[in-house]
Structure 1
Amino acid sequence: MQYPQIERQVIALAGGTGDLGRYIHEELVKDGRFAVALLTRKASAANPTCLPHTTIHPTDYTETSLVSILNTTGATALISLIRCPNSDYIPLHKTFITACLSSDTCKRFIPSEWAGDIEKFPDIPISYGSTRAPIRKYLRELEQKPGRPRLQWTLFNHGWFMDYFLPPSQSYMKYIQGEFPIDVGSWTYTVRGTGEEPQSWTAGRDVARAVCELLGSEQEWEEVTYVCGEWGTFNHTAEVLERFYGRPFTRKTRSLEEINSDLRKYESQPEIEDVGVVEVEQHQVAGATACPKEKTLRQREKYFSNVKFMSVEEMLTVAEREGRV
């Protein structure tokens, strides 16, 4: 959709050079309503993609540094796309929140969630219970404090990135060995649990387009926002891929009992910060990656009617035709 050329709102992106960050960055500057203030820890960093309507701001992510950048750029929103060690998540995001509240213009915030159904499964993956959940509570408590400037915020979630069904060369999403059960590089499918647990997938670029629409919406944000391109199961989608590419997967199995056994090992060792693949497995077999359909479709009508969300087959077709999504 084309928008009239107006003075662009500046959106500050923390972690904007990463996988989803690159999609959001591209879609924001493509949209006539927005410009980007790209936050980076590296003083020598340059715009990696030479995108227009972008300024680069080295920062140590202290409150002083962030407030200065937000005020200098006149940023109206801050989006966190940062994947950091669990021990860093809470202090970093509290600093983001304080910086927004202390700034002159930045009164909207999207913390780094980017998961599935966090209302039904607030503590899955495991690390979310000790990192995201306290920040959610902190944001809610801020709203109850009298006399505090108001911060509009939402927890944005999309299920899996369906980009992981593509070779890495066709998407910005980097494949992390072992996390996603379908590996198109080795053409293997690890059936976790039954493979029939509910899932949802959304293309990274569609997530980015939806973020743009939400930022441009005049409607009040809800506490949790969901988007989804397609609901299904891994068994069904593996069959879709096999038909599309004309070849069968080599299948492996990973039983629910095996996954739960590994989870118990981590639960008995709370000092382990990163539980790795097993928490992703738990997320999948619990069905926690599936965004709640009724709420997601209602919000699609409310906020995202201008976004045409791709199905898995549509994404595969686009990638085959254009080389990437």
Structure 2
Amino acid sequence: MKIAIAGAGEVGLCLATEFCKSEDEVVVLTGTVKPSFKNLKAEIRLTNYSVDDLKKNLDDCDAIVSTLSGPDEFYISAHSNILEACRQSRRCKHFIPSEWNINIEDFPDQPMFSAATHEVVRKKLRSQHDIKWTMICHGWFMEYILSPEKNPLREIGLAWVMNHGTKVFDMYADGLQKVTLTSTADTARAVLAVLRDSINTAADLPPVTHLAGQTLTYRDLFQLIRTRDPAWKSSPVTFSEVLNAIHEGLKANDALVAVHQMRIMGFTNANNNPKGKALEWGTGVLAGLRATGVQEFLDQAQA
């Protein structure tokens, strides 16, 4: 296959790094040259994300995987243009939009700050039948359990439960809500498998593809982390304090509102990709693939 990745940010780099380990050809579409990609065996193509330019850049590709994020207007226009470019393309008829998210099948309104924007793109995808597409739901990327110097993804502060500087773990309510963690590498390999199966067999794709590296409660995740490093302490977080932070932030037009809106998901099972919905590793589409568990992932990072 020849796979295009739209976007050259942190997630794009992680996926491209893993894609380049396969036998597939990889093209990275980006608005500006990114030095972090220079050592990958990927072809870098500059684009302005217009339909005509995208059509030209996708002409020899089989599929495009987007990692593009906001602002809202750009997210909508870029994904709309990618969809149209694929429709006009002779070859590129598979599209994975940039979700990289929680269980949006059951919680499509989460996270609150991006749901409305993403829904605009989702409606456009659902309203057409020329392009095969699926949204990848993997829960949280497992990299967020790593300390900042080892985590290749951008820092998101209070949006994630672990403060590596203070070694304080936020415990939402009773901590019994579940969170699914999947590494970027496992996600990338699964994406290639899903695309390869659909391209080779002409099989349709479901609107949502669930992945689950390991699912556990926040309480169990804290105990696992603390077993490895007893310095970690838990700090209770109540629903009311998060709602108050959102309320006050909206009045003050505070950018941190989005962070607190992400914390709301910790009080629900929005971060949980149920076993019955997630693709099963080692069989079917994911034959030959296995998921990395939290303990193994931390061991690898420590090594």
Give the alignment partner of residue 140 of structure 1, picking from 108, 123, 126.
126
The one-letter code of the counterpart of 1:31 is: S
What TM-score, normalized by structure 1, do the two folds share?
A: 0.85
Q: Helix, strand or coil for the counterpart of 1:57? A: strand
RMSD: 2.2
Q: Helix, strand or coil for the counterpart of 2:269? A: coil
Aligned positions, number: 299
Matched, 1:50 2:50: no
Matched, 1:95 2:81: yes
The one-letter code of the counterpart of 2:17 is: E
Give the alignment partner of residue 261 of structure 1, picking from 244, 247, 264.
244
Deviation (angstroms), 1:23? 2.3
The one-letter code of the counterpart of 2:95 is: F
Runs of 4+ in 1 over 4 A off after TM superposition: 44-47, 264-269, 271-274, 297-300
The one-letter code of the counterpart of 1:281 is: R
8 Å contact from structure 2 (residues 282, 290) kept in 1: no
Matches within 5 A, 1:283-294: 283-294=265-276
Equivalent-residue separation in structure 1 for 2:292 and 2:263 (angstroms): 25
- Structure 2: any 5+ residue segments left out of the alignment? none
8 Å contact from structure 2 (residues 68, 98) kept in 1: yes
Deviation (angstroms), 1:63? 0.9
Deviation (angstroms), 1:106? 0.8
8 Å contact from structure 1 (residues 152, 221) kept in 2: yes
Q: Helix, strand or coil for the counterpart of 1:178? A: helix
Equivalent-residue separation in structure 2 for 1:231 and 1:286 (angstroms): 14
Equivalent-residue separation in structure 2 for 1:96 and 1:275 (angstroms): 30
Matched, 1:154 2:138: no
- Structure 1: any 5+ residue segments left out of the alignment? 1-8, 144-149
Give the alignment partner of residue 39 of structure 1, picking from 21, 29, 38.
29
Q: Helix, strand or coil for the counterpart of 2:264? A: helix
Equivalent-residue separation in structure 2 for 1:138 and 1:299 (angstroms): 31
Equivalent-residue separation in structure 1 for 2:29 and 2:158 (angstroms): 30
Deviation (angstroms), 1:185? 3.1
Matches within 5 A, 1:208-247: 208-217=188-197, 218=201, 219-245=203-229, 247=230
Q: Deviations over 1:2-42 (max 9, x none)?
A: xxxxxxx2211111x3222222212222111x111111111
Q: Which residue of 2 aligns with 1:311?
A: 293
Give the alignment partner of residue 280 of structure 1, picking from 253, 259, 262.
262
Give the alignment partner of residue 25 of structure 1, picking from 16, 26, 30.
16
8 Å contact from structure 2 (residues 279, 286) kept in 1: no
Matched, 1:201 2:181: yes
What TM-score, normalized by structure 2, do the two folds share?
A: 0.91
Deviation (angstroms), 1:45? 4.3
Q: Compared with structure 1, are the counterparts of its residues 250 and 280 closer, same or farther at alpha carbon in structure 2 (3 Å cutoff)?
A: same
Matched, 1:251 2:234: yes
Q: Helix, strand or coil for the counterpart of 1:112? A: coil
Matched, 1:13 2:11: no
8 Å contact from structure 1 (residues 27, 208) kept in 2: yes
Deviation (angstroms), 1:115? 0.9
Matched, 1:66 2:54: yes
Q: Compared with structure 1, are the counterparts of its residues 47 and 69 closer, same or farther at alpha carbon in structure 2 (3 Å cutoff)?
A: farther
Equivalent-residue separation in structure 2 for 1:213 and 1:60 (angstroms): 29
Equivalent-residue separation in structure 2 for 1:302 and 1:134 (angstroms): 32
Deviation (angstroms), 1:97? 0.5
Equivalent-residue separation in structure 1 for 2:26 and 2:273 (angstroms): 28
Q: Compared with structure 1, are the counterparts of its residues 41 and 230 closer, same or farther at alpha carbon in structure 2 (3 Å cutoff)?
A: same
Equivalent-residue separation in structure 2 for 1:55 and 1:297 (angstroms): 30
